[in-house]
Amino acid sequence: MITTNPFDDDKLREECGIFGVSGGETASAIVALGLHALQHRGQEAAGITSWDGHDFHTHRAMGHVAGNFDRDEVIRGLPGASACGHVRYSTTGETSLRNVQPLYAELNSGGFAVAHNGNISNAMKVRRELIRRGSIFQSTSDTEVIIHLVATSSYRTLLDKFIDALKQIEGAYSLIVMTPEGMIACRDPLGIRPLVMGKLGDAVIFASETVAFDVVGADYVRTIDPGELVIVTNDGEIRSHRPFGETHARPCIFEHVYFSRPDSIIDNSSVYSVRKAIGAQLAIENPVEADYVIPVPDSGVPAAIGYAQQSGIPFELGIIRSHYIGRTFIQPGDKVRHLGVKLKHNANRALIEGKRIVLIDDSIVRGTTSLKIVQMMREAGAAEVHMRIASPPTKHSCFYGVDTPERTKLLAHKLDIGGMQDFIHADSLAFISINGLYKALGEAKRADIRPQYCDACFTGDYPTKLTDQDDAVVTNQFELLAERVV
């Protein structure tokens, strides 16, 4: 039986990754390489759509970019100087081929392809209204509502139709759109999800992270501003539109903590350097006497280096990770299920036996992996096991394109820090403070009014309306009341 790796589902799931090329030879081949660099943002499915000046061509598949887009015949089937691609981890919509992006439709104005990173928090309400008016949906993805809003808009030009659609949706989005008129890249008014622009010769490139530019040999130009639409016409003209006026940015703070690759640059800051600074601040706030600082690989490594440098405790690799265990693996039976963690992580017994160790990880979600890692250290003979987390407690679910468990399943929602420490059987447990996290990011502290980042997973301070979530709560309350009446 093939099942999801139970040790991966104790992480906040990466959202999605998008990549687009306008005006480049063999654009689809460049997109495929860019998607390889963004594979960490979504491993369930991948897709590429190209435009050859006359027709659109699409190839979508379940699984990784490798194996689906590294064959010559696939790239030859995606001709043209413009292409966009998407790697997906589902946040809204089932896991099936019909939800794999880019989504494509033939509109009155011609072909329309869209790749979306994020989550539309009023998608269900908009969808119900569109269906009532006669729209027929082909997927269960929230992204499809954008296509229908563009198709049914009463505005004259395609750009105005697109802006009209964006003004009817809530939540988080970075989008790359392809039409016969050119390519459009845009971010939501708060800039919750990332998007950057680069150049490769005469070609204009858009990507979720700068690391994708490094892989294809492109130069970073700038970040797409919150609420900005950048249009690249077929003759290479670049235009910027700001239909939302002045906006107050609230980019996702977890990009710095976990989602982005450490070799990416966010707002002119190295992700790797920021994570080291987070680890150093964690050491200042939560010191402990120990023999070694040990990262939980791989996400805890930069923070552990920062913690070790600040504390003076030696950094060591006390946990060795196997890189040959993917998202799924075969489990021969329930009796060996508890051994599964050792398929991915194994203790370096010769190093840690008899030692006091500090484990550094980026977050605790359900707590099941932390429990197993601490247990592994105990079984390998560690004298003391202290855990330090490079983010505040994750107490709230994300509704902006990150697949998090229901709030009731988050360990920090159910237990205080003492209870969490007991649950994972650590000698001590501590998290970086919210102000400490902001300090590591170069801010004096978290602003009380209009904070600098979206940190709702830690604070519950959601920067936009959550229409679908609020409607669901009201519906559940109504159903409970009806049950009581009956």
> What is d(CA 205, CA 37) in angstroms, rounded to the nearest whole number?
14
Q: Are 365 and 411 contacting, i.e. CB atoms less than 8 angstroms apart?
A: yes
Specify whether 16 is catalytic.
yes
> What is d(CA 226, CA 173) in angstroms, rounded to the nearest whole number?
10
Could you tell me which residues come within 8 angstroms of residue 356 by beta carbon, excluding any fewer than 6 positions away? 289, 290, 291, 292, 382, 383, 384, 386
CA trace torsion 69, 143, 391, 388 (10° rounding):
-50
CA trace torsion 130, 407, 249, 274 (10° rounding):
-140
> What is d(CA 359, CA 352) in angstroms, rounded to the nearest whole number?
11
> What is d(CA 123, CA 149) in angstroms, rounded to the nearest whole number?
11
> What is d(CA 225, CA 162) in angstroms, rounded to the nearest whole number?
18
CA-wise closest residue to 283 among 364, 385, 358: 358
| Active-site option among 16, 186, 252, 454 | 16
> What is d(CA 329, CA 90) in angstroms, rounded to the nearest whole number?
19
The tally of CA atoms less than 13 A away on the side-chain side of residue 248 is 9
**Residues annotated as part of the active site:** 16
